[in-house]
Structure 1
Amino acid sequence: MKKIPYSINAMNQPFDITTRQPQLFVCRDFEHLKDVLEEFASKMAFMVGGLEGINKAIECNNTATCEYSSGLQVSGVFNEVITDENNSPIYLRTTGKTALAFGNKELQGHGIDYHKDGFGSPVGKWKQTPSAPELLTNDQLHALGIVEGKKAKLEFMSGIVVSGKVEKILRHDGKLLLITFSNCSAKYGDRVLFDPDWGTCDMAVGERISSVFNGAADKDAYNQVALVPKERTIKVPSDAKRKRLENLYAQVRKIRESKTGYERLGEIWETQQAAHPEDWLLSMEIFEILDTTDQQRQLKAKIEKFLNEKKAQTKDLTTLISWGFRLVEYHKKPEYQAALHASPK
């Protein structure tokens, strides 16, 4: 069998998993493998951003996120990008429900209910200043005539012109994210990008699109948390200790399904703590029952403290337990309850 030194060119090799492979790609060591994978990652949309990333978001026709260099994240179904003569993106647009976030947390007042009909905004530098717009200070904005409560006119290097009354200027971590205009007009040549009759205009700020990735930035707020499947396909062999733990799970499941016996949850949890201190998932299940039914608040607080201490032990546990808490909140949402009750028993 032919052996080929592993490189990024391996991605161009046809691969049929049902047949014997005619070659092997060989790495010198793990460092070699890491270097090639990092080279590949550097070409992915979440690293590249720009027009290439935006076009991938449009092609996928599903919820994606474009992140401005200011850190502002726009999540929605992207359907258009306008480019300049250098083929650089100067305006992007979504259709349908859209949310704005920073650091993967939705910005207050900028969720899918507010931006339910889509979102559009320019990208790029402003003519009036050589600096990246997200780095401008309040004094610099005032010098450009951008003051809350006053009319302003912004001209982009691309030729897009935005004018209107500045209602709000939003910053985060020192960077300018959004400028909200009323009575706003946005044009690119003869094309109207925003009309005053359309209402308030939230203009994103950022010199470029630095990253594009699949899904929403804040999946919880965007209602993009996956439902947990009821069936488990992985079967783990049981020894005597594990069978005792599984029995505790069965008792908790019976309490949850029958909606009786809540007073036994404390005893079950104490048993788990004494005999199976490494397990955290049962604690999360008990926590959710107590949270949903508003039972035994003192016990709930003890379990929450245990889970937070467990969460701090490793990076993996941080992720898993954080998602556990998120699911507890998500399971209380009306849309989840509706889907749960509509699903076949």
Structure 2
Amino acid sequence: MPAPETILPPHLARYAVSQDYGGYTPRDQAVWRHILRRLTAHLKDRAHPSYLEGLAAAGIGVERIPSLEEMDARLARIGWRAVAVRGFIPPAVFTEMQSLGVLAIAADIRSADHIDYTPAPDIVHESAGHAPILADPRYAEYVKRCGVAGFKAIASREDQAVYEAVRHLSVVKEDPASTPEDERLAQARLAAAQASRTYPSESVRASRLYWWTAEYGLVGSLDDPRIYGAGLLSSLGEASHCLTPAVGKLPLSLDCVDRDFDITSMQPQLYVARDFDHLFEVLDAFEATLSWKRGGLHGLREALRAGTVNHLVLDTGLEITGRVARRVAGIVGLDGPVLVSRAGKAQGEPWMGQALVAFGAGGLPERGPFTLELPGGVGLSGFRTGNFETIDLKGHSPGGALDLPSRALLFLAGKLPSVAGGPADPETWDRHFGVGPPGEAEQLARQRKAASLPPDLAALYAEVRALRDRGEAPPGRLREIRAALAAFPGDWLLAQEVEELLTPAASPGFQPEDP
């Protein structure tokens, strides 16, 4: 597979991992086969027409877990790429990859215990769910645009706590070493993090739009829709349940961004788009609500309550990255570190102090003393030393002296066209302030899951697969294998594979009720 650095910029490439195809156990391969056989049989008349065509186009077969190297090569033909990642990556990383036309595919696969549905990202969901529909050019464009909106949306500090809790729960659910108490505490942690949210941030609302469309969307008429959402296409339970009368069907509208979702259970209602053009109508309406598009006072208020690193785009073309911390007499204060950029490229090194943005007419010298009169009777004075640094900074308003830092970066602008999420130059920011990508817990869980498969049982799985690959089904040997499974009473999956070989005329059907 091409090195991630050839597909992604460095700050994103470090989240990519090796697929480690040899690390999949024979039971992992059986899990894939079980899910894909039943999904394709069930979805052939229920999914959007692009789905089955897209499976082949993306190099996804029924019999074995796909090679992400082959998937990447296939997706490259339609303008997309694929990289392997480990578990839940940060939302800003996922959406930026998506905006670049790169599909982040979780390399792990769900356990047989969670074969119908898992809240954890896995290769079934990402490759068999997301990748096939990208064969439709209009839909692929929508997914990229969703990535841009999600990347530009402002996230709050509270969102980070929820992300960490979701990631922890997904690891616990797939780790064979986890106890029921571990799972209970992980669920409680997620509930507490969600309860601590005081408002739905722009990022939360963007994730809801993505959830109700790209993850759990239906398309067509309300009384006979088709499935296109990846969460539905990759879940045996959801794919069977979603088209029943038990699930409410609502016309897709911008209202979906106000409806929360629960990743741990099946959805009680779903939204139906008329067609893929309808997705763009809703996305356009959503983008118009974002600070990235609105800027001005609205954007400042959103960034201030978020308490996270965002960036202001001034009408001078400068971009100021930092935490919006205060707004006094029309002057905006940002806490450091602060990074100045233009067109997404840093202009020098980060500044570790504060920055001020004043709004008004006039000008500031590059170097030397200045006095500046701003609207509302506000005045500033100080000495500019170069590179926007200002010392001996003082300010006043009709109410008296302003509480300003004596030394800060100072900028003057007429308008604020945009306030967007995250740093304006993510690569430079990450180089200075980035933290190591998550994934250690997911890797340990994968190793423990592989180790939990008894060698004798793994050998039986491998033997049954080899018999199938050779087109052989010796009844005597298969009955011996079935008898040997008495030593593993909880392993229903291999027993089912043996029965399929003993009764080759049997249809795989669709059996979400399998124990």
TM range (shorter): 0.3 to 0.5
Higher-RCO chain (CA-CA 8 Å, sequence separation at least 6): 2
Larger helix proportion of the pair: 2
TM-score by length of 1: 0.48
Larger fraction in strand: 1
Compute the TM-score of the two structures, normalised by the length of structure 2: 0.33
